[in-house]
Structure 1
Amino acid sequence: MRIKYFFSLFLILSTLFFRAQTIQLNSAENNIAEWERILSPKNNLVRDTTAFKNFLEPLRKRNSQSDKVLYNLLLANVHAKAYDRINSVSNRYYSRSIANAKKLDNKALEIWATLCYAEYFYNYRQVTEALPYFVAAIEKINQSDPAQILFPSESFTKIGFYLGTIGDNREAINYLKKALKYTNKNTAEFAKISDNLGAYYLELGDVVNARKNIEIASEVAKSVGDSVRYAKTLGNFGIIYERNHDYANAIKLLLQDIQISERFKAQQNTMFAYTVLARLYIANNQISEADSALKKADLIAKSKSYFKINELEILKLKLEIIYNQKTGGELAVRRRIGVLEDSLNKTDGIMPLNQANWMMQKRNYQQNIASTESELSKQSFIKNLIFVASGLLILLILFIIFNAKSREKLRQIQNDNKIKEYEKTKASNERKLAFASKTLDSQIDFLKEKNIQIQKLHLEIDKIKKSEVFSDDQDQRKLDNLLQSHLMTEENWRNFKNEFQREHSGFYDHLIQNFPEITDSNLRIILLQKLGFTNTEISGLLGITVDAVKKSKQRLKRKLGDKYDLLFQMIAVEN
């Protein structure tokens, strides 16, 4: 494994250093075109060890600060490709490159070095680690003329892809649109940007713009011979069909995507396409085909440590198949999902993505505040503005306090009148019951009236709790006490039960004899329900919640078993 690494590193270093030797020696300070030529990623592998050895010493001895930036940046990129993961060597060279650019006070080099470091973290799924570098690059790039930065198209693209990954699709679209302005239309780069634009529009639910951009990407990719990008556009068209539940056409397009991606050994896209294909098969109830597609996707996902989030998605689809087929293996899949989720919470899982998005939004908010403050030009104007505003604020506070006190006084009078009115109504109802013949009908009327008063009192108490003005707890206590006095007391219950027993003796006797399991609290609910009181009315009269009434009935049903249906029939029978 180590031999393979060193061999790969040697080949890549040979390539870059060979290219750099032919260009670096002619580089000049502040020459953006020359720097772009040196840093161009379009280098062929060159197995020229002599060129590699001859290059190192002269380059290290140069006094040019810009050469130091480029040298460290090239080494960082080479080691990243060779290790194919986050590594301390690349970290060291990227940091040196950025530090040298800052020392040189060259914004163009600093932006590009920062973006390369940010993309390095992003490529290996360290989204939160990438965030501060993307933020630093965005702040500087927004203050710069695109003509004075390195690779404007690639710079805006890197930022756009990152913002899309953390879920800020609108900003991602803005940056990719900027990138298109500096990209030749008849290039693979133009196709890549347009394809991703379409994907971000699709995330926002804008199918029209999504289809339009993916179609452009597909045409350009085909015309310039970028087969892998063309395959990706087919996959994205498939996802559009998936949204419309046209699984047959979606599956057909994904199969074409996979065929091309496999032919050109585009592993990551092949894995993604197989995952989407499996999802489509599951939706189309083609379970065996879905299982086969997931196995192929999983094989690729396990080949790279930074494909964990893809493996997690694959495992979740496997769970769907297990549920569908009722096969074994669920425990093992769930354990692996748990391990992956714990691991991804430190890299590119949901939590880090959300955290990165939140931090980016916070940064935007802070930047907006800073921008607004910078518009206040003179310190004297700010002081005067603060003085005037403070005076107005004091007057406003005094007005609010005075107004609030006036409203509180009026509210107190209104509350007192309402409480007196409720007390008067309660006394009147009780007098009516006392003077009326104590029949069950009069009891029912009395309880109905009580229920109306209870509902009104509940509304008044809720108003006090929700009131934004200064409220007196004494009002609430008075209303609470009045509410308690309306609830069915033991004396009320005894009177009510006696009248019920007298007028519905058959029902009552049958109930007591045949249902000994019924408690006194059950009996209250049953008798009130027999007389037509709803759950809400019962809860009000007994001073309990509606849920408590329902749960009491449920417990009684479990206790009585089959006898509960007989009880329900008895309650439902008209007398």
Structure 2
Amino acid sequence: MKIKYFLSLITLGCIIFLPAQKIRLDVSDNNISGWEGIISQQENMGNDTVAIKNFLQPLNDSNSETYKILYNTLLANGYANAFDRINEKSNNYYSKSIQSARQSKQEALEIWAILSYAEYLYNFRQMTKVLPVYMSAIEKINQLDSKDILFPGESFMKIGFYMGTIGDNTEALNYLKKAKQFTNPKSANYASILDNMGLYYYRTGDLKKAKKNIEEASSLAKSIGDEVRYAKTLGNLAQIYEGNRDYRTAIKLILEDIEISERNGRNKNSMYAYTILTRLYIAINRLEDAKISAKKADEIAETKSYFKINELEILKLKLHIIYKEGRNGEELLVRRRIDALEDSLNKTDGVLPLNQANWMLQKRKYQHNIDDTQKRLSSVSFWKNVIFVVAVFLILLAVLILMNAKIREKNRKIQTEKRIVEYENAKLRNEQKLLEAHKTLDSQIDFLKEKNIQIQKLHLEIQNIKESKSSSIEKEHGKLDEILKSHLMTEENWLSFKREFKKGHATFYQTLQDSFPEITDSSLRIILLRKLGFANSEIAGLLGITVDAVKKSKQRLKHKLGDKYDLLFNMIVSEN
């Protein structure tokens, strides 16, 4: 024990007396290129706050106002990384840095400091607070030549990522295209830009460009050894395959994404990937696997306060699994947590703040358009005032219309989602009743008639959705279509039905087998259902075909059987 203690003291002493690493400065560094060289050294700061201050001390000791600006921003960045949350120290140092740069009229440093502050707010999901900060940077950056901007590629990239987050995919793509012009095409940043461009193209519906950009990003990431970016590209490609319902390929890609992300200790990316995997497993009814992947995603989401938006998405997937398994008693607890999270996120990172940020952005664009119009017409004050009043009126009118449309759309979606849950629950109840009734022929008939009622309702619901102008038609149509398909007579249901039919109508069934061997399985389904009194429209609904198809099947059977058809007809309509 004494030896171990002695060795520990020696080790501690060595650590204390080792000279601390410090940032390197040069008198020739006082220009754009030199500042970039200094800033690039922040990767060596580490996460210990004492070490960070010591590392940056040469900047603080300098009499240069420029170096003081660099010191304050880099120190704010260091505290953000060390605390891994919004904190007062970072807030104060960012504020000092921006004010100093503004007062000394050093626009390049001011833009860099503003973007650093914006990235800090963005990383910790302060989505409404960050908008005016980004807009301030955008206004200034658009007035400078690229050669007068610090890290132009990274600067445009940060703006693009934020625009994509708040849903302005067109602007996001515009800024990422600018970022590409100033980024090394063999770098990790270039792969990141391509990957995110692919994601934004996917959101705009341009699947061809989406896949092309993501595949280019994937190839580049692999060639330069950027495993984490490569994993992210696999996850984004999986989403494209998911959209095309190629779930097998999507699952294969997402599992590889998870393996790489976990190997590299990238919990955030692992959480995203497990969330997508849960969604994929639900789509193919692998509910046990879905529960496992949801649990893993949730375990990561609970580790950080700024992962609440991800936790909310995971909880909604868990709720979907509960509905699928018919465990409705567990629904209340999950819904309470969802409501609590949504209430919390409505202040920072939920759908409402993101929509609000997007709306504020559009409003700001309109205001800029109004200002430009006023400048051009400054010599004609009367028309300037008229245009201003009309523009403001139109903006307010557009906002009111937009808000009203969003409220109507939200209410419509809530009602549709409730009806979808009702359809799913009705299906589960009907199947449970069949099990409890031991699948007798009478219970099979009741089961099929109830199914037919649900099928008719679903057809009507799908038709109503098709006629709607909602932006979520495709998603809702897909959910209803899945429920509709699940009501159709599956092979398992058919075998169960046929087994009970044989018991109830043994003589009729045996006569069919002996006297009419030419009857096909598809015709047999129609005959048995007709024997039980189902009309053509009901048969068509249960088998997932049209009424005309039922009639044509009967006509083909009549042609095939010839004179024997009348005998078959009499057998069908006769009482047993």
**Same fold judged by TM-score > 0.5?**
yes
> Size of the alignment, in residue pairs?
371
Moved more, 326-335 or 146-155: 326-335
Going from structure 1 to structure 2, the CA distance change for 1:33 and 1:329 (only over 3 Å counts) comes to same
Could you list the runs of 5+ residues in structure 2 that have no partner in the other structure?
1-14, 388-576
2:271 matches 1:271? yes
Do the aligned residues in 2 keep the contact of 1:258 with 1:270 (CA within 8 Å)? yes
Aligned to 1:339: 340
Aligned to 1:309: 309
Aligned to 1:348: 349
Aligned to 1:362: 363
Do the aligned residues in 2 keep the contact of 1:72 with 1:96 (CA within 8 Å)? yes
Residue type of the alignment partner of 1:36: E
Aligned to 1:527: none
2:321 matches 1:326? no
Note the alpha carbon deviations across 1:294-315, whole angstroms, 9 max, x for none: 0000000001110000000000
- Counterpart Cα distance in 1 of 2:47 and 2:272: 34
Shift of 1:54: 6.8
Q: How does 1:26-175 map to 2 (within 5 A)?
A: 26=27, 28-29=29-30, 31-40=31-40, 43-44=43-44, 59-175=59-175
Shift of 1:55: 6.3
TM-score (norm 2): 0.61
Q: Which of the residues 364, 377, 380 maps onto 1:382?
A: 380
Do the aligned residues in 2 keep the contact of 1:308 with 1:344 (CA within 8 Å)? yes
Shift of 1:385: 6.4
Shift of 1:67: 1.1
Going from structure 1 to structure 2, the CA distance change for 1:227 and 1:58 (only over 3 Å counts) comes to closer
Going from structure 1 to structure 2, the CA distance change for 1:266 and 1:56 (only over 3 Å counts) comes to closer
- Counterpart Cα distance in 1 of 2:110 and 2:255: 43
Shift of 1:144: 1.1
Residue type of the alignment partner of 1:291: K
- Counterpart Cα distance in 1 of 2:69 and 2:38: 12
- Counterpart Cα distance in 2 of 1:125 and 1:386: 40
SS in 2 for 1:185: coil
Do the aligned residues in 1 keep the contact of 2:36 with 2:151 (CA within 8 Å)? yes
Shift of 1:45: 5.4
Going from structure 1 to structure 2, the CA distance change for 1:277 and 1:181 (only over 3 Å counts) comes to same
Please tell me whether Structure 1 or Structure 2 has the larger radius of gyration of its CA atoms. Answer: 1
SS in 2 for 1:225: coil
Do the aligned residues in 1 keep the contact of 2:242 with 2:280 (CA within 8 Å)? yes
Note the alpha carbon deviations across 1:256-309, whole angstroms, 9 max, x for none: 111111111111110000000000000011100000000000000001110000
Do the aligned residues in 2 keep the contact of 1:19 with 1:43 (CA within 8 Å)? no
Shift of 1:138: 0.6
Shift of 1:383: 4.7
SS in 1 for 2:27: coil
- Counterpart Cα distance in 2 of 1:45 and 1:55: 6
Shift of 1:364: 0.9
Sequence identity, in percent? 58
Residue type of the alignment partner of 1:72: N
Aligned to 2:283: 283
Residue type of the alignment partner of 2:141: I
Do the aligned residues in 2 keep the contact of 1:169 with 1:204 (CA within 8 Å)? yes
Residue type of the alignment partner of 2:353: P
Aligned to 1:373: 374
Residue type of the alignment partner of 2:114: T
Going from structure 1 to structure 2, the CA distance change for 1:245 and 1:175 (only over 3 Å counts) comes to same
Note the alpha carbon deviations across 1:517-555, whole angstroms, 9 max, x for none: xxxxxxxxxxxxxxxxxxxxxxxxxxxxxxxxxxxxxxx
Aligned to 2:300: 300
Shift of 1:235: 1.0
Going from structure 1 to structure 2, the CA distance change for 1:337 and 1:33 (only over 3 Å counts) comes to same
Going from structure 1 to structure 2, the CA distance change for 1:59 and 1:240 (only over 3 Å counts) comes to closer
Residue type of the alignment partner of 1:88: E
- Counterpart Cα distance in 2 of 1:224 and 1:365: 43
Shift of 1:186: 0.6
Do the aligned residues in 2 keep the contact of 1:301 with 1:311 (CA within 8 Å)? yes
Do the aligned residues in 2 keep the contact of 1:312 with 1:340 (CA within 8 Å)? yes
Going from structure 1 to structure 2, the CA distance change for 1:100 and 1:277 (only over 3 Å counts) comes to same
- Counterpart Cα distance in 2 of 1:102 and 1:210: 40
Q: How does 1:7-26 map to 2 (within 5 A)?
A: 18-20=21-23, 22-23=24-25, 25-26=26-27
Note the alpha carbon deviations across 1:163-204, whole angstroms, 9 max, x for none: 000000000000000000101111111000100000000011
Moved more, 324-333 or 219-228: 324-333
Going from structure 1 to structure 2, the CA distance change for 1:198 and 1:53 (only over 3 Å counts) comes to closer
Shift of 1:49: 11
Note the alpha carbon deviations across 1:446-489, whole angstroms, 9 max, x for none: xxxxxxxxxxxxxxxxxxxxxxxxxxxxxxxxxxxxxxxxxxxx
Aligned to 1:219: 219
SS in 1 for 2:221: helix
Q: What is the CA RMSD across the aligned residues, in angstroms?
A: 2.7
Going from structure 1 to structure 2, the CA distance change for 1:109 and 1:57 (only over 3 Å counts) comes to closer
- Counterpart Cα distance in 2 of 1:311 and 1:190: 30
Shift of 1:62: 2.9
2:176 matches 1:176? yes
Q: How does 1:466-505 map to 2 (within 5 A)?
A: none
Do the aligned residues in 1 keep the contact of 2:278 with 2:291 (CA within 8 Å)? yes
Going from structure 1 to structure 2, the CA distance change for 1:27 and 1:130 (only over 3 Å counts) comes to farther
Going from structure 1 to structure 2, the CA distance change for 1:175 and 1:57 (only over 3 Å counts) comes to closer
Going from structure 1 to structure 2, the CA distance change for 1:50 and 1:106 (only over 3 Å counts) comes to closer
- Counterpart Cα distance in 2 of 1:19 and 1:193: 32
Moved more, 35-44 or 154-163: 35-44
Do the aligned residues in 2 keep the contact of 1:18 with 1:48 (CA within 8 Å)? no
- Counterpart Cα distance in 1 of 2:218 and 2:383: 57
Residue type of the alignment partner of 2:95: S
SS in 2 for 1:43: helix
Note the alpha carbon deviations across 1:499-519, whole angstroms, 9 max, x for none: xxxxxxxxxxxxxxxxxxxxx
Residue type of the alignment partner of 1:347: T
- Counterpart Cα distance in 2 of 1:80 and 1:46: 12
- Counterpart Cα distance in 2 of 1:351 and 1:305: 18
- Counterpart Cα distance in 1 of 2:235 and 2:348: 26
Going from structure 1 to structure 2, the CA distance change for 1:50 and 1:177 (only over 3 Å counts) comes to closer
Do the aligned residues in 2 keep the contact of 1:18 with 1:46 (CA within 8 Å)? no
- Counterpart Cα distance in 2 of 1:51 and 1:87: 18
TM-score (norm 1): 0.61
- Counterpart Cα distance in 2 of 1:47 and 1:301: 22
Going from structure 1 to structure 2, the CA distance change for 1:224 and 1:155 (only over 3 Å counts) comes to same
Going from structure 1 to structure 2, the CA distance change for 1:267 and 1:384 (only over 3 Å counts) comes to closer
Aligned to 2:192: 192
- Counterpart Cα distance in 2 of 1:48 and 1:85: 15
- Counterpart Cα distance in 2 of 1:42 and 1:62: 18
SS in 1 for 2:43: coil
Shift of 1:129: 1.0
- Counterpart Cα distance in 1 of 2:236 and 2:51: 44
- Counterpart Cα distance in 2 of 1:59 and 1:246: 55
Shift of 1:43: 2.5
- Counterpart Cα distance in 2 of 1:347 and 1:49: 27
Note the alpha carbon deviations across 1:120-172, whole angstroms, 9 max, x for none: 00000100111110010011111111111000011001100000000000000
SS in 2 for 1:40: helix
SS in 2 for 1:293: helix
Residue type of the alignment partner of 1:262: E
Do the aligned residues in 1 keep the contact of 2:169 with 2:200 (CA within 8 Å)? yes
